[in-house]
Amino acid sequence: MTLYPKCFDLYRLLGDVQNMFQIPALNKKIKLIIDCSSDVPQYIETDDVKLREVLINLLDNAVKFTQNGSVSVTVGANKEGITKPVKEEFVNSSENFQKVFIDFEIADTGVGIAPEELDSIFELFMQSSSGKTLQKGMGLGLSISREFIKLMGGELRKAI
């Protein structure tokens, strides 16, 4: 895998992803919330295609496994560099080119993942028991997403 970073509008990407999942969420009568903190730079430099794919994979799982309640994405700047569930490093497009860590946290009120399955859900072709029950997907999304995030210098993991 190769990283193809470029400068792009993160706010637009978040809006596009929200638009993509708004109808499926409304059809299931669940609330879709995307909250981007004001300290997150609008223009960033990273591989926008891979970041978009990761967000799509994670939101697809969240909407798929949530029958009622909500799915939320919280995006914030992490000035301390503390690792949270999804961390992405990129450059602010200002003239000073300041490195910033961005945390993307996806939360839902869905069925969740059993504690004994947490170690294996990021492996290729592995599905949680709830994923097997729904018989949707092949168990590739989380594995591919984790590799993309690693390639971008971040970490993807289940929040504790």
Give domain limits for the chain.
Answer: 6-110
Residue type, position 29, single letter: K
pLDDT attached to residue 100: 81
Q: Is a pLDDT exceeding 70 seen at residue 91? A: no
Higher pLDDT, residue 136 or 65: 65
pLDDT attached to residue 157: 76
CATH: 3.90.25.10, 3.30.565.10, 2.40.170.20, 2.60.210.10. Which one for 6-110? 3.30.565.10
Q: Is a pLDDT exceeding 80 seen at residue 122? A: no
Q: What is the DSSP letter of 55?
A: H
- Residue that has been written with the tokens 């709830």 in this structure: 130
- What mean pLDDT is reported for the chain? 80
Distance in angstroms (rounded) separating the CA atoms of residues 136 and 25: 17
Q: Is a pLDDT exceeding 50 seen at residue 140? A: yes
Higher pLDDT, residue 29 or 81: 29
pLDDT attached to residue 115: 61
Distance in angstroms (rounded) separating the CA atoms of residues 108 and 25: 12
145 — pLDDT class (breaks 50, 70, 90): confident
Mean pLDDT for 71-91 is: 64
Reported as type and span, the H/E element at residue 74 is strand 69-78
